[in-house]
């Protein structure tokens, strides 16, 4: 019976192990399916395949990951519950076996006691009959010397009975010992089988949990990889879309430039004058070529206006036509772009102008975008008329008009009277004069024409002498001693050798630091390295142009000691404006190829 029960326990253990193995196989299968789904993703046709694929991969990977984790947890919990139930059943079987064993031992003890009592009864009766029989027999003759007496026979019977009793007890003890030993061995074997089953089940559970965790990690890694791929796909799609939009915008701008040029040509034809027509035709064709094909650098192409500004095109056209300047729509848009980017309720920033009759004369005072456009168009027209602008490509007068739009028309009459027109230097002068008169820190934007014309289709293509602006700024600083405005602007708390600070300051006044045309540097060697790295470097034998930066090596030992700005180069002589020349801003001159010249940085204006 013990062997049968032991085999049953072992069979139960084997069944549990089989179930654990089946569970492991199921989880392996689920993991394989999860991995396949995470790698494959789901694809379908859509208007934007790349973006759709990215979204679907991200969604599918997340869903597959969650489903895989759920299945692993569910299967692991089920296997754990089954194992616990099997262990409980095994314990119940052991308890039942022990109860039956105790009952059988009690029955055997009862049977043993009965057998002993029966044996004692039998021995007593036999002994008594033997004694009685001996006593009743007649004595014929005297007993021999060795003849047993009745008492001897009785004693012998008693001893025999005692020996039989001892034999029964010994037999009973041996039987009980045998039963105990056999039962104890059986129990130990059974308990050992149960312990083995427990250990096996625990190992199976632990293995299942480890497999589930590993599968979860793998699923998460697969999902993360899929999400990363989706993000990369999105970024690629976005970059492609932006590049496409930029290309479309450039094409649209080029077409608009052609249209605007054509309008200017028609206006010139109406006004008469074939020489003017020929000139306009040449510059229009040049401008269109630059717009369509580019000029080899970012500085020769205009920057497109924002979508917000483009959205106002119908209103701009409406009021441009109403106030007689329909050919200046692109210029009006460029002004709006500089003023607000097309945002806010006063996109033309016309609240402080003389044409605002409805709202307070303060920054952003106008609360109606259409009214702002109407006022702004009138302000610009007044400036164009005051500056005597002839057509949309009359750039020098357009600069005068634009600076007047920013400063007020009083600047236009002042500049015409004192200088004959616009220059950056006189814009700086007028700004300083007005700021002093009003007690302000600064007055207006001295770079307003350049800032607006970067958004104007003709702004770069038809504006020559971009390199002249930095020269004009430098010339306004002649006579400054000590260099405090320049080294303090750079960020130094006390005086330093300030020639490079001066050159950087002049470039900043022209917007060249912001646009990346010239670097901000305080060490001459840093400036040299920047221009060499940009492949915008020439040696000392080069004949420079206005606006080039000239670097000096006083000892001809390869050490860069000084920097200035080239004003012009004529008849083999280089004329410069230099900061920190004898601790002042001065004009100097040198022969082309002088031994003191180290070389030139040539900004891509």
Is residue 320 included in any domain, yes or no? yes
95 and 219, same structural domain?
yes
pLDDT (0 to 100) of residue 102: 80
pLDDT (0 to 100) of residue 167: 60
35 and 184, same structural domain?
yes
Least reliable range by pLDDT among 55-64, 89-98, 313-322, 364-373: 55-64
539 and 427, same structural domain?
no
Is residue 278 included in any domain, yes or no? no
524 and 499, same structural domain?
yes
- Most confident segment among 119-133, 244-258, 572-586: 572-586
All residues at 6 or more sequence positions from 462 whose CB lies less than 8 Å from its CB, including other chains: 283, 286, 287, 393, 395
pLDDT (0 to 100) of residue 306: 95
413 and 366, same structural domain?
yes
215 and 100, same structural domain?
yes
pLDDT in tens, 460-481: 555 545 578 899 889 888 888 9
pLDDT band at 375 (very low <50, low <70, confident <90, very high): very high
Cα atoms in the 13 Å half-sphere on the side-chain side of 209 = 7
Decide: helix, strand or coil at residue 15. helix
Is residue 333 included in any domain, yes or no? yes
Is residue 399 included in any domain, yes or no? yes
Looking at 425, 445, 464, the residue that finishes a domain is 464
Cα atoms in the 13 Å half-sphere on the side-chain side of 406 = 24
pLDDT (0 to 100) of residue 180: 59
Looking at 415, 445, 464, the residue that finishes a domain is 464
408 and 489, same structural domain?
no
pLDDT band at 131 (very low <50, low <70, confident <90, very high): very low
Tally of helices (H runs) and strands (E runs) in the chain: 17, 6
Decide: helix, strand or coil at residue 327. helix
346 and 207, same structural domain?
no
All residues at 6 or more sequence positions from 99 whose CB lies less than 8 Å from its CB, including other chains: none
Give the residue from 335, 313, 174 showing the smallest Cα distance to 252: 313
382 and 506, same structural domain?
no
pLDDT in tens, 381-399: 999 999 999 999 888 899 9
* 511 within 8 A of 447, measured Cβ to Cβ: yes
CA distances from 549 to 510, 511, 521 (A): 15, 16, 12
pLDDT at 217 over 60: yes
pLDDT at 99 over 70: yes
Is residue 30 included in any domain, yes or no? yes
Looking at 198, 213, 245, the residue that finishes a domain is 245
pLDDT (0 to 100) of residue 548: 97
202 and 116, same structural domain?
yes
Nearest-angstrom CA–CA distance, 381 and 355:
11
Is residue 174 included in any domain, yes or no? yes
All residues at 6 or more sequence positions from 268 whose CB lies less than 8 Å from its CB, including other chains: 276, 277, 280, 391
* 10 within 8 A of 192, measured Cβ to Cβ: no
pLDDT (0 to 100) of residue 88: 75
Q: Give me the chain's average pLDDT, please.
A: 75
545 and 396, same structural domain?
no
Bridge-based pairing of strands 586-591 and 597-601 is unpaired
Q: Residue range 226-249: average pLDDT?
A: 51
pLDDT (0 to 100) of residue 146: 46
State the total domains in the chain: 3
CB atoms within 10 A of CB 361: 11
Is residue 390 included in any domain, yes or no? yes
pLDDT in tens, 245-277: 454 454 445 445 555 555 545 554 454 444 444
pLDDT at 407 over 80: yes
Strand partners, 569: 574
Extract the tokens encoding 423.
């220059």
Domain span holding position 501 = 475-601
pLDDT (0 to 100) of residue 516: 92
pLDDT at 135 over 80: no
Give the residue from 285, 267, 279 showing the smallest Cα distance to 390: 267
- Please report which residue ranges of 272-311 form alpha helices under DSSP H: 274-293, 307-311
CATH number reported for the structural domain that contains residue 430 in this entry: 1.10.530.10
pLDDT at 417 over 90: yes
Is residue 263 included in any domain, yes or no? no
541 and 512, same structural domain?
yes
Strands (E), 154-254: none
pTM here? 0.43
pLDDT (0 to 100) of residue 469: 81
pLDDT at 533 over 80: yes
CB atoms within 10 A of CB 2: 15
DSSP 417-428: HHHSS--HHHHH
Strand partners, 566: 576
Helix axes 524-533, 499-509, angle to 10 degrees: 50
Decide: helix, strand or coil at residue 393. coil
Q: Residue range 52-68: average pLDDT?
A: 56
Nearest-angstrom CA–CA distance, 67 and 59:
12
pLDDT band at 8 (very low <50, low <70, confident <90, very high): low
pLDDT at 311 over 50: yes
Bridge-based pairing of strands 586-591 and 573-578 is antiparallel
């Amino acid at each position: 019976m013990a062997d049968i029960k032991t085999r049953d326990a072992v069979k139960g253990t084997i069944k549990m192990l089989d179930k654990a193995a089946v569970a492991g196989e199921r989880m392996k299968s689920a993991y394989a399916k999860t991995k396949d789904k995470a790698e494959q993703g789901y694809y379908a046709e859509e208007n934007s395949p790349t973006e759709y694929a990215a979204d679907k991969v991200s969604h599918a990977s997340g869903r597959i990951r969650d489903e895989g984790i759920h299945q692993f947890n569910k299967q692991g919990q089920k296997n754990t519950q089954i194992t616990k139930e099997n262990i409980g059943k095994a314990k119940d079987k052991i308890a039942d076996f022990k109860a039956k064993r105790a009952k059988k031992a009690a029955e055997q003890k009862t049977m043993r006691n009965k057998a002993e009592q029966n044996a004692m009864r039998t021995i007593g009766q036999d002994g008594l009959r033997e004694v009685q029989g001996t006593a009743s027999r007649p004595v014929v003759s005297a007993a021999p010397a060795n003849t047993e007496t009745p008492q001897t026979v009785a004693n012998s019977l008693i001893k025999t009975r005692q020996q039989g009793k001892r034999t029964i007890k010994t037999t009973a003890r041996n039987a009980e010992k045998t039963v105990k030993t056999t039962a104890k061995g059986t129990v130990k074997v059974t308990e050992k089988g149960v312990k083995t089953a427990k250990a096996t089940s625990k190992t199976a559970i632990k293995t299942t949990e480890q497999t589930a965790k590993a599968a979860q990690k793998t699923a998460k890694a697969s999902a993360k990889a899929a999400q990363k791929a989706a993000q990369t796909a999105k970024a690629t799609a976005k970059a492609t879309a932006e590049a496409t939009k930029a290309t479309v915008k450039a094409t649209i701008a080029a077409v608009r430039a052609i249209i605007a040029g054509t309008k200017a040509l028609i206006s010139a034809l109406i006004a008469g004058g074939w020489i003017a027509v020929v000139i306009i035709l040449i510059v229009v064709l040049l401008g269109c070529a630059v717009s369509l094909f580019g000029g080899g650098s970012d500085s020769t192409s205009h920057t497109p206006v924002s979508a917000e500004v483009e959205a106002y095109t119908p209103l701009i056209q409406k009021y441009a036509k109403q106030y007689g300047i329909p050919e200046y729509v692109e210029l009006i848009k460029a002004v709006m772009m500089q003023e607000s980017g097309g945002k806010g309720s006063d996109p033309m920033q016309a609240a402080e102008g003389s044409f605002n009759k409805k709202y307070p004369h303060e920054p952003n005072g106008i609360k109606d975008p259409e009214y702002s456009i109407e006022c702004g168009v009138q302000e610009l027209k007044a400036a164009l008329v005051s500056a005597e602008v002839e057509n949309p490509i009359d750039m020098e007068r357009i600069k005068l008009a634009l600076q007047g739009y920013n400063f007020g028309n009083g600047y236009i009459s002042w500049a015409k009277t004192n200088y004959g027109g616009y220059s950056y230097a006189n814009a700086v002068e007028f700004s300083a004069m007005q700021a002093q008169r009003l007690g302000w820190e600064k007055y207006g934007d001295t770079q307003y024409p350049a800032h607006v014309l970067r958004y104007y289709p003709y702004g770069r293509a038809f504006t020559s002498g971009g390199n002249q602006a930095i020269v004009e700024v430098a010339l306004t600083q002649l006579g400054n001693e000590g260099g405090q405005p320049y080294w303090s602007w750079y960020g130094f708390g006390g005086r330093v050798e300030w020639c490079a600070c001066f050159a950087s300051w002049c470039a900043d006044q022209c917007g060249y630091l912001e646009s990346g045309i010239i670097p901000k540097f305080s060490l001459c060697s840093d400036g040299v390295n920047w221009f060499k790295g940009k492949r915008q470097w020439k040696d000392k034998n080069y004949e420079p142009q206005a606006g080039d930066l000239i670097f000096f090596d006083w000892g001809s030992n390869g050490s860069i000691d000084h920097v200035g700005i080239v004003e012009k180069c004529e008849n083999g002589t280089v004329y410069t404006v230099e900061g920190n020349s004898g601790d002042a801003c001065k004009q100097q001159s040198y022969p082309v190829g002088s031994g003191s010249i180290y070389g030139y940085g040539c900004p891509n204006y």
